[in-house]
Structure 1
Amino acid sequence: MKWSKYIILLCIVTLLTGCWDRRELGKTSIVTGMAVDKGDSLKYKLTIETTEAREMNVKTATGFAPSSVASLEGNTIGELAAKFNIVNATIPIYSHMRLLIISEELVEDGLLEFMDFFDRNRQIRDDFAIVIAKNGNAGDVLKVTNMYKKSASLKLFTQLNTMQKDWGGAPDVKLNDYTRIYSSEGQAPVIPAVEIVGDPKKGGSVENMKSEVPESEIDISSMGVLKNGKLAGYASLFEVRNMLFIQGKIKTTTLTANCEGGKKKFGYRITHSKTKVTAKEKNGIPNFYVKIKTEGSLDGTECSQKIGEPYAFEGYEESINTIMEKEIESFIKKTKEEYNADIFGFGDIFREQDYQHFKKYKDTWDDGYAKSKFHISFNAEIKRSGLRKDRMIMK
């Protein structure tokens, strides 16, 4: 019994040893963002942003730059990530990366083979956002400072999340989403696109962060559609929202519709949204029935109708339904004719609900999508009128 206690104690002691791969905090730097451009002399140009912890904290900030941005050129991203100490004094830690920016030029040429590095690497998580740098270099995006988060990548990561949750103008695309959709038989991948507004050179200064009206900032501008690994075109923010309606990913948003007569407008704030898609083949043609049901409240009106009257909301709801059904149908038509790419995932739904007929399109879903028919039903239900019934001024 006595010896057994010693043996148990020795076993416990072995569990108290330190980590074999530990690194001192003072000798490391946290990478928050990475950008990939075409290289001038080699295949890729990799830019990383590392944050300075003291400058990120209000109590310890001294007024210096909150982050450091450095670039290297090479033929593989793995090689570049491993040798960044050519320009960086400390060891880069990639596990907390929040953003990957890809230049428009790379996406247009289909040079996205480097994505395998991020999908395969053990040190990089799969929950960072991916964006396209439209009309500019990806590395320049990481140089634009800001007041909110100071770090360009941290600010843009939060910006994408809040935009998607509050209005629906940005798809929530993380690495695991991109990888899953890229290998899908019935859906084409999409990536949010951002643009630098203003002078990129002035965006890297500390004064840009302190200014009430920054000389340079990053805007979410659109969404890139990929077809066979290349950029097929861009969709507007309103079209992105229509895609999210179909996918059932709208949390809250505000729609604008016409009053009776068409000259004045009113707003409809959606608080609940639910989408049901049914797929079946009829006479050799895939048919999709999309039913979108929303609930919300009146969010400001210029209309002359008195809201306190019975069935007063019926005209508002009919106007919303008509506009949204036309917009969604128009965008689906655009994806068929301009991109020839199913970005909604209708192919995956067809495979799940009618696999016997989907089998013939397994390797050629683009052909099936091109001839598919869509039946859109948008049902808006206004539950509340806000804090008052009628307009403050009736004219």
Structure 2
Amino acid sequence: MKVGFARTCTLTLSLVLLLTGCWDTKDINKHYLPAVMGIGKGDSQKYKVILQIPIANEKTQILEKEAESISKAIDLIRTDSEKSIDLVHLRLMLIDIQLAQDGIGDIINFAVRANDISIKGLVSIVDGDFDKTLYHQISPTPEVSSYDFFSEEAGWTPNQSILRIWEAYRNQESLSEDMGIPMLKDGKQTLFTFKGTAVMRKDRLVGSLNQEETLLYNLFKGKYTGGTIEVAKNTSVLIEHAKVNHHTKWTEQGPFLQTDIQLNVVVTESPHGKSADIIEKDLSEKLSKQFDQTWKKIHSLKADALGIGLIFRPQSKEEKIKEWKTVWFPKLVQKIDVKVNILNEIYFKEKSSKQNEGDMLKRGTKL
């Protein structure tokens, strides 16, 4: 009897201990789950923090506070809120361009150190009216739309760059790579309008790329799915596959990089009478020229946003790696050669055959 009683007591106590972990949980209806956080310059304090919180009926509640630190601003929002605020579902962090020009190191460090913010969250810079962009609302709910804009399964295209919090933290601390951050403003019919890519030197904004240059930036980095290139008037191609090969060497003057890019494309639009050979030639020449111009622009900003230092890193000594951004990258010489291969050439052959048949019928020739 005593043994049975002891076992019963032990089992009961075990169940009680397990239940204690649930007593302090809060109902989901008592939580605010922000999807977007905006961080800008305050009117009277250093930072202004704006949280977008999805609520029922496809609407969004917006809360904001100013403080000398981001943590304090969030704490003030929590203080005045009737519900608990959890940042575990934060998907997008929007940073005012004025802060980006001064440096975003403190902001990224805060996001990485915060226990309740996922480092998989996305980072973007607002190049426009900061308050207007954060308070801008459309249907469906902004938290869905904001994520879809950066989702490769939804609204994202290679004309838009993409960067996550952990990548921003890695790049700002990297000795051999800088970063590019997407730039946006409020849209008219959509939640956002993408303006291009902010080029960062360490954690500071030093220049920008437009949408066409962003496509080449993404192509260089292997992110090209769904990319459409306009060759000339009424002629466009869709990138199906891209192969990028780098050939490196060190000369007496410094590092040299030869980049060969092979594109397999599908013609989506073309005027009558324009052959595949002409399109391939025109596109190869155009992209080689555009790549060269984009590379020179990035190089002039002294920011290795393309991550070329990573290409040289395996064959570089530790001293050269430490000096890459300050000594060797400014001396870098790069040449880019683009070759294009059209995959749907049968379209041109069939079209050419039909044109020949039509010409023969017009002349009264028997087929």
TM-score, reference length from structure 1 = 0.80
Is the 8 Å Cα contact of residues 341 and 366 (structure 1) preserved in structure 2? no
Which amino acid is 1:81 matched to? I
CA shift for structure 1 position 228: 4.0
Find the counterpart in structure 2 of residue 179 from structure 1: 169
Structure 2: how far apart are the matches of 1:178 and 1:164? 23
Structure 2: how far apart are the matches of 1:165 and 1:288? 34
Structure ID, larger Rg: 2
CA shift for structure 1 position 132: 0.8
Aligned-partner SS, 1:31: coil
Find the counterpart in structure 1 of residue 316 from structure 2: 355
Is the 8 Å Cα contact of residues 34 and 47 (structure 1) preserved in structure 2? yes
Is the 8 Å Cα contact of residues 246 and 290 (structure 1) preserved in structure 2? no
| Alignment partner of 2:263 out of 289, 294, 299 | 294
CA shift for structure 1 position 10: 6.4
Is the 8 Å Cα contact of residues 149 and 155 (structure 2) preserved in structure 1? no
Find the counterpart in structure 2 of residue 201 from structure 1: none
Aligned-partner SS, 1:155: helix
The aligned runs of 1:142-153 (5 Å cut-off) are: 142-147=134-139, 149-151=140-142, 153=143
Unaligned runs of 5+ in 2: 360-367
RMSD: 2.9
CA shift for structure 1 position 265: 4.2
CA shift for structure 1 position 36: 0.8
Aligned-partner SS, 1:114: helix
Find the counterpart in structure 2 of residue 210 from structure 1: none
Find the counterpart in structure 2 of residue 157 from structure 1: 147
Are 2:99 and 1:106 equivalent residues in the alignment?
yes
| Alignment partner of 1:378 out of 333, 338, 349 | 338
CA shift for structure 1 position 88: 2.4
Structure 1: how far apart are the matches of 2:125 and 2:102? 13
CA shift for structure 1 position 313: 2.4
| Alignment partner of 1:281 out of 250, 255, 267 | 250
| Alignment partner of 2:27 out of 24, 30, 39 | 24
The aligned runs of 1:27-106 (5 Å cut-off) are: 27-52=30-55, 54-56=56-58, 66-106=59-99
Aligned-partner SS, 2:198: strand
Structure 1: how far apart are the matches of 2:10 and 2:242? 58
Aligned-partner SS, 1:95: coil
Find the counterpart in structure 1 of residue 129 from structure 2: 136
Structure 2: how far apart are the matches of 1:174 and 1:73? 25
Structure 2: how far apart are the matches of 1:165 and 1:324? 25
Is the 8 Å Cα contact of residues 150 and 156 (structure 2) preserved in structure 1? no
Which amino acid is 1:34 matched to? M
Structure 2: how far apart are the matches of 1:316 and 1:183? 43
Is the 8 Å Cα contact of residues 252 and 269 (structure 1) preserved in structure 2? yes
Is the 8 Å Cα contact of residues 296 and 383 (structure 1) preserved in structure 2? yes
The aligned runs of 1:308-347 (5 Å cut-off) are: 312-337=275-300, 339-347=301-309
CA shift for structure 1 position 252: 2.6
TM-score, reference length from structure 2 = 0.86
Find the counterpart in structure 2 of residue 308 from structure 1: none
Superposed CA offset, 1:23-79 (max 9, x none): 211211111111011111111111111111x313xxxxxxxxx11112101011112
Bigger mean CA offset, 78-87 vs 230-239: 78-87
Aligned-partner SS, 2:230: strand
Is the 8 Å Cα contact of residues 244 and 250 (structure 1) preserved in structure 2? yes
Structure 1: how far apart are the matches of 2:22 and 2:72? 26
Structure 1: how far apart are the matches of 2:145 and 2:154? 14
Are 2:241 and 1:272 equivalent residues in the alignment?
yes
Superposed CA offset, 1:56-115 (max 9, x none): 3xxxxxxxxx11112101011112222313442211111001111111111122254132
Is the 8 Å Cα contact of residues 237 and 268 (structure 2) preserved in structure 1? yes
CA shift for structure 1 position 323: 0.9
Q: Sequence identity of aligned pairs in percent? A: 19
Structure showing the higher helix proportion among its residues: 2
Count of matched residue pairs: 351
Structure 2: how far apart are the matches of 1:129 and 1:165? 15
Structure 2: how far apart are the matches of 1:192 and 1:21? 41
| Alignment partner of 1:222 out of 183, 196, 211 | 196
Structure 2: how far apart are the matches of 1:172 and 1:286? 28
Stretches (4+) displaced over 4 A: 2-12, 14-17, 162-166, 385-388, 391-395
